Structure 1
C-alpha cells in the first residue's frame, strides 16, 4: 500500500515517514529531490515536484492508500513582509491545488486525502473553548487556513475521503517550536511572552504522528479534526512547566510591544494570540493521547533529548 507525502522533510513529515515506513510503501514529493533523499531516503522513495503544477509525479497519486499534504513555508521563520506573506500563502494554496489536480486526473483515485491546516484558523479568541464546529476567526493565518481548507474540500466532489487536520504547537526534540522556547531558559532568562494569559494549545510530536496515522487508517474519519492535546494551558503555565522540567526559573516576561517592534504582525498572530482548542472529534472516534498533560510531555521529550545526546 502506497502513501504519498508532501513536506516529508519537515519536522512532522520526517517523523511521520519514520513511523509509517515499516508498513507502507512511502513516496516523498520534494522540490529538492537530492536534499530530500539525504533526509528521508531511508524511509521513502523520493520523487521531485515543483509544488505548483502537475507533472510526472502525479502518477504516484493513482491508487494510493493516502495522500498527505504537509507542504508549506514556515509561518514563524521571521517577520512577515508582503513578499514573505505571499510566499507563505502561495506555498500552501499552490501545493493543495496541484495535489487535487493530480487526484482529479487519476483513473484510480486514492482512498484518502489529508490536508494540513492549523488552529490559526480560529484567530485570537481569548478564553473561548474552540472545537471543530467553531467558526473561522480573522487575521492572516485564519485566511490562509480558510483558503487551503476550501481547496481541500474539493476532494469530496472527486469521491475521495478527505481529512483536514488543524494542528496546534507541536512539541518534540530536534525541531519545531520547542528548541526555540527552551533557549532562553538555558541561560536562566526564561519566561512568558506578553501577558502570559493567552492560551497555548499544544500536541506532542509523537501524538501528532499517531493521530495522522489513526486518521489514515480509520475509514470512518472524514472532515475536520483538531490535533491538539486535550488539556490546553496558558502561556504562563506552559513556561512554568518548561522551567520546572529544565530546572530553571520562569521569571522574565517579554512585553508585547517589544515583540511587535521586532516581528510586526507575526508577533500578534503567532506569539501573542491564543486559542483554547480541544480535539473533540478525535476523542469521539476513540483516539487515545499518550501525552495529555504538558508537564509529563515535556519531561519525556526533554529527558529523551538528553539521553540521545549523552
Structure 2
C-alpha cells in the first residue's frame, strides 16, 4: 500500500472513530437519564405521586430523619413519636407522602401562611388518630401509636388520607384558599356529603375530598366507584385538582379504581418541573398560628 493510500485509510478510520464516539456518547447520556425525571416511583397509598425529590434515607437514624424532614418541609417536628423505633414505617409513610406532594404548591401555601406550624407526634386522648389544633394549639397532632392498627391491617392509604386531610385544615385557612373554600361550600350545599365521616360539616368534607384525592389507594375511596358515586363527586374532584393541587392527579380519572399494586401500577407521573425550594423551620415564638378550633378527629 502506497504512502498516500495509507494516509487516506488512517484519516478515514479516524473520522469513523470520532463519529462513533460522538454517537455512543449521546446514547450513553440518554440512557443514563434519571428514571424519576419523567416517572414517579411507587409510594404506599398513592397511585401516582410526584417524582421523587427526597428519597427515603433508610440508613439514617430517626432523629436524623426527623431533622431532615423538618428542613425539607419548613415545618417544626415536635413530640416523642418521631424517634420511637416502632414508628419507623409510619415516619416513612409521612416522609414519602410529603415528597409525593412536592410538584404541587400544597405544602408551600401552608408554610407561607402558617410559619412555625408544628407536626406533633404525640398521644391524643380518646379514639382519634389525628387532629388539628385540639391536642396542641396551632399544631397538627398525629397519634402514631394508634396508626399501628391500620398499618398492620395493610391500609396504609388510610394513613396517607388522614395526614393529607389534617394538612387540609391548615390549607383551608390561608388567603389562597378562601375563594376555593367558598366555591366548595356552594357545591356542598348542592351535592351533599362526600364521606360518612364528613357528614354535616362543610369543613370536614373539604378536608375529606382533599385527603382522598391524594390517597387514591385508601380502602373505600369514594372517588373510585360509581356504585355510590353517580358522577356527583366530579365537581369536587375537579375543584381540588385545579385549585389545590395545580392540575396534578394522584390516580386515574374519578370513577375509576386506582392500580395500587406493589409495583406502583402502570400510571406514569407526568413530567413536572420541580422548583428547588430552600425552607427553614421558624421557631415557635416567632409566629404562632391563630384561630385554633376543635377539628378533625379521624375515625
* TM-score, with structure 1 as normaliser: 0.24
Structure ranking higher in strand proportion: 1
Higher relative contact order structure (alpha carbons within 8 Å, sequence separation ≥ 6): 2
Rg (Cα) greater in structure: 2
